[in-house]
Structure 1
């Protein structure tokens, strides 16, 4: 079997920054290689057309075509041509693409089947985040789903919500995200700091404007508590503010802000150590599909306090391997953190 993954991101220095989508693809690619499956990753939105290997995974960088008003269409056709060539040369059997922005809406290979896996479309996330979606994105995302040869989803919640927001009645095979648990084993010799860790993008949809209000209440009960933030600072779409971190700082009490450490982005290889050192991990998100970051924290046997929305109940059993609380319920969220801290 020869599988190609089409994606706008992949975690490698040559391909730029990557979030959960790219990480989940790499994790799956590694597991497939171990099963004897050939894997190629087609990464678009790149600065150049290039080819290299990442520990057996073939990475093909695709530079977008820039032409006012036609960039999307022309880039899609460029990708289509690449897929046709790879398939006719018997280098790939199938292409898996994400639902995000519907990149495959106008990609129609001659013979190679297209499978779409739901990681969360822009329409899906806008719905969960209670903000308007660009009509172009919704159009392309719906068209891509309608044209796909097969459909997968990382969670049942994401599948059901996707059908709802697009007015569809599609059947999805549920295949959750995965990680290599061997890479996230707890190191008993590493000293644990008394700290609360959040790792991921600093963005409204992940509850980062709720976290300061939650931590303020934690500080009231435990003045020595420390909050560590790891992740990229993202502009806020709703307010137009260029920095979510600046917005967060205004929400912390003076006492709480003194105990906050923002490390910004760190290499993926260092995330494990940050998780290991933490006492508890927190994820007050409003919009996810099946977050890899939660899996990584759970694999390292860290106590978790997370959002109780939809997808979360497919990952965590309340009171057994974590606590689930709505992000706006600051009092209870803080109480659960203090209990574990």
Structure 2
């Protein structure tokens, strides 16, 4: 098969990427290793078209439109033109992309267009309790209308998007995000720094940073040796104010030396931080299917997360992790303390977490499910 993935964030040097980029960096090379032709197509603020072969994946980046409005339409014209060239050179079987990928796509006869839902505009508008942007809502609905099939990274993201967009006639399976078991290896418990708590992700309100710091005040009062380390890029308010600087205001003076904002770290260093931590804490207010949680579980580390939509598809509460109310700092602190006070629980949570990943979230299993679905679409 020839599979084309639409994304502007495939992880190459200098490319800022999120969960979709991380996911594709795992799946695309695996598909190429299996003998499929894999092309990634995206836009960037570059002056000339760039083509890079990375692990057997042909990554094509074309210049984004400099038009102010409506930029999306001009960008889609460029994508459509490039897709025609790719198809002419080697027939495309499936084009895959996230929610808004096909808003103004010019469909090529014989090619199937698949949306893999990772959480789109309607989903996150609901989760963040904000109004939808009319233009973005229109684009997303138009994209779903143009798609031939829809799958999702969690049952939760599919069910909640259905409240706004009817795609029942095109609905496919839930295919989870895979674990990166090469980078996120089984942790060596001899490297644990006692009392170290760790978080990785964007430093912003919806990742639960406020509740995490509030909970840490409670934990530190009982266990003064504990320290909290938070790794991730800063988030900025519309007026340019740093969220990190604002949130530091709730850190008491007594805890200044025990709360550490590490800033953005290379992905290659995250496993070492997870390995050296006694507990990982990821108190998100919303997620579609959190790769960061899968990374912690892959390493067999005890962790505390929150009772949000897809959490129950990923974590067996009390067995492979502990879940707390994302808005309740007291409950979050209680879960952290449970692990700190119970060595047997700490060990069993980590062991069960890794076993669950090995059963359900391996790259091989996710690739198998994806290939089976692609073949089903084109047959």
TM-score computed with the length of structure 2 as normaliser: 0.84
Q: What SS does the aligned partner of 2:6 have?
A: strand
Report the Cα distance in structure 1 between the residues aligned to 2:172 and 2:93, rounded to whole angstroms: 21
Q: Partner residue of 1:84?
A: 84
Q: Partner residue of 2:244?
A: 245
Deviation larger for 208-217 or 180-189: 180-189
Deviation larger for 43-52 or 20-29: 43-52
Deviation at 1:241, TM superposition (A): 5.5
Q: Is the 8 A contact 2:9 2:20 kept in 1?
A: yes
Q: Partner residue of 1:109?
A: 107
Report the Cα distance in structure 2 between the residues aligned to 1:30 and 1:196, rounded to whole angstroms: 33
Q: Partner residue of 1:291?
A: 290
Q: Partner residue of 1:261?
A: 260
Report the Cα distance in structure 2 between the residues aligned to 1:294 and 1:336, rounded to whole angstroms: 16
Q: Partner residue of 2:316?
A: 317
Q: What SS does the aligned partner of 2:164 have?
A: helix
Q: Partner residue of 2:338?
A: 339
Q: Partner residue of 1:118?
A: 117
1:273 equivalent in alignment to 2:272: yes
Superposition map of 1:33-112 within 5 A: 33-48=32-47, 49-90=49-90, 92-99=92-99, 102-111=100-109, 112=111
Q: Deviation digits for residues 156-196 of structure 1, max 9, x if unmatched? A: 00000011133654523211100232331124286211311
Deviation larger for 37-46 or 57-66: 37-46
Q: Is the 8 A contact 2:189 2:275 kept in 1?
A: no
Deviation larger for 250-259 or 172-181: 250-259
Deviation at 1:201, TM superposition (A): 1.0
Q: Deviation digits for residues 292-312 of structure 1, max 9, x if unmatched? A: 111110000011100111100
- CA change 1:62–1:178 in 2 (3 A) is same
* Structure 1: segments with no counterpart, 5+ residues: none
Q: Deviation digits for residues 12-45 of structure 1, max 9, x if unmatched? A: 214x211111101111113222322222211223
Superposition map of 1:199-214 within 5 A: 199-214=200-215
The root-mean-square deviation of aligned C-alpha atoms, in Å, is 1.8
Q: Partner residue of 2:236?
A: 235
* Structure 2: segments with no counterpart, 5+ residues: 341-379
Q: Partner residue of 2:162?
A: 163
Report the Cα distance in structure 1 between the residues aligned to 2:133 and 2:257, rounded to whole angstroms: 39
Q: What SS does the aligned partner of 1:196 have?
A: strand
Q: What SS does the aligned partner of 1:185 have?
A: coil
TM-score computed with the length of structure 1 as normaliser: 0.93
